[in-house]
Amino acid sequence: MLNRNIAPPIVDAVNFNLQLKPYQKFTLKNGVEVYSVHAGAEEVMAIEWVFRAGNAYEDQNLIAATANFLLKNGTSTKTAFQINEHFDYYGSYLNRACYNETATLSLHTLTRHLEQLLPSVRELLTDATLPQEELDIYRQNMKQRLKVSLKKADFVAGRLIDVYLFGEKHPYGKYSSAEDFDALQQEQVKAFYKKYYQQGKLIIFVSGRLPANLEELLNKYFGDLPGGEVPQLEIPPTPASEKKYRITNDADGVQGSIRLARQFPNRHHPDFLKVQVLNTLFGGFFGSRLMENIREDKGYTYGIHSYLQNHVSQSAWMVSTEAGRDVSEATIEEIHSEMKLLREEPVDDEELLLVRNYMMGSILGDLDGPFQIMARWKNIILNNLDEQYFYNSINAIKTVTAEELQALAQKYLNPEEFYELVVV
């Protein structure tokens, strides 16, 4: 019998033996791959249709995002209101999103309602009409939202740093303008929808408490879609020649939005997993070097963080914060100072153990439930990786040495290689 007078032993998260629940895979009659995770205590599920229909494939800016947004705004038999009312009636949630390489349509629903909802999803993927009146409303709303956003220094900084890193013609560097919205034509959006949705490359991810006839249902409603192939795109970046930028967006602004960034290889690079540990130490969590120095000690900012961008073809190492206009330059000096310390001094065992435990605990939290498990699998699959990548990442967290982290800092954390931007 458990003796509750004795506290349970404390175990470092780094000693956990984390396992990623495996997926089940089957293929529809048309060759579409389906990845599923059957788990969870509640009778709920999520299903996501992922198309190679991101902005990397568009010939004109905003076409991909517009086609994705208008998916649920009308078919030949239903208006946008009727579509939304139908999914609301069953207590489900239908959403769509457009990224650089991919675009998605996702459904969260009670498992018992799946069969009533799949025909409507099929209709959106095969018979969306992308109505002109809905396009006009979308254009008007997005232009108004853009006008408001452009007054915010952090929004402007986020756009510009990507342009400096990749170039404004690169999928990772594109940004919207009012002129781009004005240039949208229904015929072009329909052509994109036809090529990349009706006839495009599709992968399906399903998770939660899954019905026994899931494969039968998916074959019934999606097994006859064309399931075409989309060529892989390799668009080289065209980075800016200058490295330092100071932009005045609001002459009366009292706060500066600061971005430091450099290009970085994607997940297939041998340094990527160990650099994730270095990034966490540098600025990847609340106890990081940047937070301790610039927030806790100097009081220049409420929060500062660094991260590797979640891109497929290539990544970027980014430092992001907002600080008072009068201390923005001092903030950048302190970021450089922390880079120098990581290059010159190996991290001590206590701090490295803290970072290891934090990262292992974060992964454990990310595996809490079928939706989170599938999100990790989706990231692995869409990046053309395999199951071993997960266990390699665990191994990197547990075994990377202070000397290896110092060598990586010497290789990558050099201020002269970072683009530097302050927007006030």
Return per-residue pLDDT of the chain as tens, 424 residues.
778 888 888 778 888 888 999 999 999 999 999 999 999 999 999 999 999 999 999 999 999 999 999 999 999 999 999 999 999 999 999 999 999 999 999 999 999 999 999 999 999 999 999 999 999 999 999 999 999 999 999 999 999 999 999 999 999 999 999 999 999 999 999 999 999 999 999 999 999 999 999 999 999 999 999 877 776 777 889 999 999 999 999 999 899 999 999 999 999 999 999 999 999 999 999 999 999 999 999 999 999 999 999 899 899 999 999 999 999 999 999 999 999 999 999 999 999 999 999 999 999 988 989 999 999 999 999 999 999 999 999 999 999 999 999 999 999 999 999 999 999 9
Measuring CA to CA, how many Å separate 88 from each of 46, 71, 92, 226, 360? Answer: 15, 17, 6, 29, 38
Query: Please, are residues 294 and 300 in contact by the beta-carbon 8 Å criterion?
Result: yes
What is the Cα–Cα distance from 160 to 331, expressed in whole angstroms? 19
SS3 241: coil
Count Cβ atoms within 10 A of the Cβ of residue 91 and give its class: 0-12 exposed, 13-18 middle, 19 or more buried.
exposed
Could you give the domains of the chain?
A: 24-222 (3.30.830.10), 244-423 (3.30.830.10)
Q: Give dist(CA 128, CA 197) in Å, integer.
A: 10
Helix (H) or strand (E) holding 104: strand 103-110
Q: Give 238's contacts (C-beta < 8 A, 6+ positions apart).
A: 166, 167, 169, 170
